[in-house]
């Protein structure tokens, strides 16, 4: 018998956007409760490695995605009757046993 565990997250549980630099691995967490200023993140605030190209569509896409998540979460949290609950299914971390430890 094979067991499968699925992991879900409610939109209201998403608190922040985390960006991690591919060059220096510094991380920045931007709370979704505040205004998101992605255009200010064209370079890593720590090592100045380029994160996006000036005018990249990535910046707008991130802002649009976060804006849509915030809008749907806000609508679901109102006293507005909907006949469903909405969650995102997320990929689970691999258990330690599947990671493969070399001795
Ligand atoms: Zn960096």
Q: Which pLDDT belongs to residue 97? A: 59
Residues 17-50: pLDDT tens digits?
999 999 999 999 999 988 888 878 889 999 999 9
pTM of the model: 0.71
Q: Which pLDDT belongs to residue 75? A: 87
Quote the ligand 1 centre to 41 CA distance (angstroms): 11
Q: Which pLDDT belongs to residue 18? A: 93
Quote the ligand 1 centre to 51 CA distance (angstroms): 9
pLDDT band at 94 (very low <50, low <70, confident <90, very high): confident
Domain count, the chain: 1
93 within a domain of the structure (yes/no): no
Q: Distances in Å between the alpha carbon of 37 and those of 17, 46, 64, 67, 75?
A: 11, 17, 12, 12, 23
19 within a domain of the structure (yes/no): yes
Quote the ligand 1 centre to 32 CA distance (angstroms): 22
Quote the ligand 1 centre to 28 CA distance (angstroms): 10
98 within a domain of the structure (yes/no): no
36 within a domain of the structure (yes/no): yes
90 within a domain of the structure (yes/no): no
Domain, as residue range, for 37: 7-81
Quote the ligand 1 centre to 50 CA distance (angstroms): 8
Q: How far apart are CA 56 and CA 82, in angstroms?
A: 37
């Amino acid at each position: 018998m094979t067991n499968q565990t699925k992991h879900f997250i409610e939109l209201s549980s998403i608190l922040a956007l985390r960006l991690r630099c591919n060059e220096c691995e510094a991380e920045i967490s931007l709370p979704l409760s505040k205004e998101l200023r992605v255009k200010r993140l064209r370079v890593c605030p720590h090592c100045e490695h380029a994160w996006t190209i000036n005018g990249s569509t990535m910046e707008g896409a991130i802002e649009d995605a976060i804006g849509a998540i915030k809008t749907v979460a806000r609508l679901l949290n109102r006293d507005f009757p909907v006949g469903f609950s909405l969650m995102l299914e997320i990929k689970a971390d691999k258990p330690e046993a599947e990671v493969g430890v070399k001795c």
